[in-house]
Chains A and B, each alone.
Chain A
Amino acid sequence: MFKARNYEFFRDKAAFGWNFLFPFLIIAGFGIIFGGREYSGFKVGIFPAATASVPLAHSSLPPKFVATRHLEFIGLPTFEEGLEKLKHHRVDFLVRLDSPSRQYWLLESSPKGYIVERLFQAALIPDGPGYGEKVAVPGGGIRYLDWLFPGILAMNMMFSALWGVGYIIVRYRKNGALKRLKATPLTAFEYLTAQALSRILLLIFSLAVVWLGVELIFSIRVAGSYLDLLIVFTFGAMSLTSLGLLLAARGTSEEFTSGLVNFITWPMMFLSEVWFSLEGAPQWVKSFSELLPLTHLLRAVRKVMNDGATLAEVGSECGVLFGVTLVCLVLGAALFSWND
């Protein structure tokens, strides 16, 4: 049995390939995103600075702070821009370079900001005039929870859409359930529409359930309108579900499809700013991120939830999501096969 299972694994070329290729790609991907550096968990915005990468050696920052590993320094031209990024958790800590009292800002709710503050203060102890001057963020910024929560919701939506549609259809194709349906007058378009509508409804329903649950424990702040938020999420659900249909258009190997779904969901999870912002990442990574529907969904949701944007203000994001939906649906329906 042991031998048989090993043969099974090595002979299923698709699954075999993915099993080795996939972790390699993830690691290679991270390597590229972080430009060969180590993963920098903490982003420190410094201003005024002409470019994003600033020579730090002769700056007014405490040398010990500069030398701390895992801190990434991102140069920003103005205070306003720095504050904007800080409020949206794109940087964790903000320092004014030309301030004798070493003014800095952070969000009280940000765990990373707190750590960086402690590092900053520690770095100042022996040679600085004080611990630095902490300045309150006007308006208080966005709570870390309110920033993270949309990401979790969107990510959940992505997994549910891609697995729930993509994987299930491939399984039905493999076991012949789709072939049975093909023998009826049901058209591919009707079948796919039914799958998509059902999944969208389900995504919105589970979104509501999760939301209510979280709302009971923490109170979530929504600056914009709930209706707008619902519409944005619906656009997101449509685009992700269509992507799932496209992935499931062909193929009868569940292993291959699960590899493919992983291959798409993982980069989306890391590059759509669910967990961390791409501030400081190479430009092409940021451009690539623009291709991912999750990026646009999350941006729109955060704008509505955190900044109180109206539907019109997130029109471009919704437009992109709608475009993704159309392209995936048309391609998915054109490529769809009931039996192979």
Chain B
Amino acid sequence: MTPPILEVKNLVKRYRTVTAVDGISFAIRSGICFGLLGPNGAGKTTALEVIEDIIPPTSGEILYNGAPKSASFREGIGIQFQHTSLLNFMTVRETLLIFQRLYQETERIERLVEICNLHEILDKMNDRISGGQAQRLMLALALINRPTLLFLDEPSTGLDPQARRYLWEIVRRIKAEGKTIILTTHSMDEAEYLCDEIAIMDHGRIIAQGAPAELVARYCAGGTISLPLANVRLPLAELPFPSREVNGRLEILTDRVNEGLEQLLALKIDLDEMTVHSPNLEDVFLYLTGRTLRE
């Protein structure tokens, strides 16, 4: 059996007073998209940068293709950082060419331009392009050495919804080529849309791990039915299921949405303006930590 492309064992990164990464372990199979999901400050970026060899770990072990990282590691990986600048006074094309020179095996510039849609900005200066364009350039740079393992740190943070969607499509296409992707995000949409497997991080630890749907099923089965409070004409205590009032609406938590709806109909409760919310990773996080991802 081939070893996982990346295996992290008991990784710890401690700064003077803070433990940013507190003993995390996971293994990533080749060809999947693995997400580290968690709120800001959970230690995702630190974990990623330790794995990328940008900052040294305090302790722990990282195996790349089953062995400790060697000089070939940098040739085989591509990184898109969250906050980095590029060299001044360079056009996008020049930047791509400069980075191309740093690697042995490289992707053709035309193909990168095609994948990341850089046609329009090729001759613009690095610092004269929009946020979405800059993110796509950073992605192109991460792909320039035809990496088998791609690190994306909060790839869509700060982008408008359209630019974000667009970037996701690019990432999906890259994944379809068989590359392994590891990304961090605090957006559950992003994790749900892109990742085959995720690890939810909080306070430097992994608190849950698995496929998105599996995590939802494991921690937050069922759904939430929400109705205007005015629709309910009988005392709440007489309802045959747990419920609560939230902003003038009644929220009913139920393991089986179908049964819940049938009971409501049986009670002749008006279902006008009703919404049904299926749980997602946000709810999983809320369930596990008592906080929302954005807190």
Chain B residue numbers with a CB within 8 Å of A172 are: 85, 87
**Minimum CB–CB distance for A318 against chain B, Å:** 33
In the complex, per-residue mask of B71-82: 1 if CB is within 8 Å of any chain A CB, else 0: 100110101010
Q: Which of A255-284 touch B at CB < 8 Å?
A: none
Q: Decide yes or no whether B283 CB sits under 8 A from chain A.
A: no
Q: Does B141 sit within 8 A of A, measured CB to CB?
A: yes
| Count of interface residues, chain A, beta-carbon cutoff 8 Å | 14
Contact across chains for A176 and B55 when beta carbons are under 8 A apart: no
| Chain B residues closer than 8 Å to A181, beta-carbon distance | 102
Set A177, A183, A186: member contacting B54, Cβ < 8 A: A183
Interface code B104-120, partner A: CB below 8 Å = 1, 0 otherwise? 10000000000000000
A180 touching B103 in the complex, CB below 8 Å, given contacts A175-B84, A185-B75:
no
Contact A183 B85 (CB under 8 A): no
Question: In the assembly, what is the distance between CA of A179 and CA of B45, in Å?
Answer: 13
Known: A175-B85, A176-B84, A184-B99. A339 touches B75 (CB 8 A): no
How would residues 201 to 230 of chain A score, 1 for a CB under 8 Å from any chain B CB and 0 otherwise? 000000000000000000000000000000
Interface centre among A177, A180, A185, A339 (most CB of B within 10 A): A180
Is B86's CB within 8 Å of the partner chain A?
A: yes
Number of A-B contacts (CB under 8 A): 44
Q: How far apart sit A185 and B75, CA to CA, in the bound complex (Å)?
A: 6
Question: Interface readout for A326-340 with B: 1 if CB under 8 Å, 0 if not?
Answer: 000000000000110
Q: Which of A163-182 contact B (CB under 8 A)?
A: 172, 175-177, 179-182
Closest residue of B by beta carbon distance from A181 = B102
Residues on B with C-beta less than 8 A from A182 are 54
What are the residues of chain B within 8 A of A179 when measuring CB–CB? Answer: 54, 81, 84
Which of A177, A183, A184, A338 contacts B86 (CB under 8 A)? A177
B75 contacts A183, CB within 8 Å? Answer: no
Contacts of B99 in A (CB 8 A): 184
Q: Are A185 and B102 in contact (CB under 8 A)?
A: yes
CB distance from A181 to the nearest CB of B (A): 8
Contact, CB under 8 Å: A177 / B103:
no
B141 near A180: Cβ-Cβ < 8 Å: yes
Q: Contact between A183 and B87 (Cβ–Cβ < 8 Å)?
A: no
B52 within 8 A of A: yes
A338 to B84, CA, bound (A): 12
Tell whether, in the assembled complex, residue A183 and residue B103 are in contact, meaning their CB atoms are under 8 Å apart.
no
A176, B83: Cβ atoms under 8 Å?
A: yes
Give how many B residues have a beta carbon under 8 Å from the other chain's beta carbons. Answer: 20
Q: How far is the CB of B191 from chain A (nearest CB, A)?
A: 23
A153 CB → nearest B CB, Å: 26
Closest to B83 in A: A176
A8 to B: closest C-beta gap in Å:
20
Residues of A within 8 A of B145 (CB): 184
Residue in B closest to A174 when the chains form the complex, CB atoms: B85
Shortest beta-carbon distance from B188 to chain A in Å: 27
With A and B bound together, what is the CA distance between A338 and B145 in angstroms? 21
- Between B54, B71, B77, the greatest number of chain A beta carbons within 10 A of the residue's beta carbon is seen for B54
Most chain B Cβ neighbours within 10 Å, of A176, A183, A185, A339: A183
Residue pair B86, A180 in contact (C-beta under 8 Å): yes
Cβ–Cβ < 8 Å partners of A184 in chain B:
74, 99, 102-103, 145
Question: With A175-B84, A176-B83 in contact, do A183 and B55 touch (Cβ < 8 Å)?
Answer: no
Question: Which residues in B have their C-beta under 8 angstroms from that of A180?
Answer: 79, 81, 84-86, 141
For A338, the chain B residues whose CB sits under 8 A away are 54
Min C-beta distance of B169 to chain A, whole Å: 24
Contacts of A185 in B (CB 8 A): 71, 74-75, 102-104
Report the minimum CB–CB distance from A252 to chain B (whole Å): 13
A183 to B102, CA, bound (A): 10
CB distance from B13 to the nearest CB of A (A): 14
The listed residue (B71, B81, B83, B104) touching A183 by CB distance below 8 A is B81
Contact with B along A181-207 (1 / 0, CB 8 A): 111111000000000000000000000
Binding site for A on B (CB under 8 A): 52, 54-55, 71, 74-75, 77, 79, 81, 83-87, 99, 102-104, 141, 145
**What are 11 pairs between A and B in contact, CB < 8 Å?**
A175-B84, A175-B85, A179-B54, A179-B81, A182-B54, A183-B54, A184-B74, A184-B103, A184-B145, A185-B103, A338-B54
13 further contact pairs, Cβ within 8 A, besides A176-B85, A184-B102, A185-B74: A175-B85, A177-B86, A180-B81, A180-B86, A182-B54, A183-B52, A183-B74, A183-B77, A183-B79, A184-B74, A185-B71, A185-B104, A338-B54
Which are the 3 A-B pairs with shortest beta-carbon distances?
A176-B84, A175-B85, A183-B79
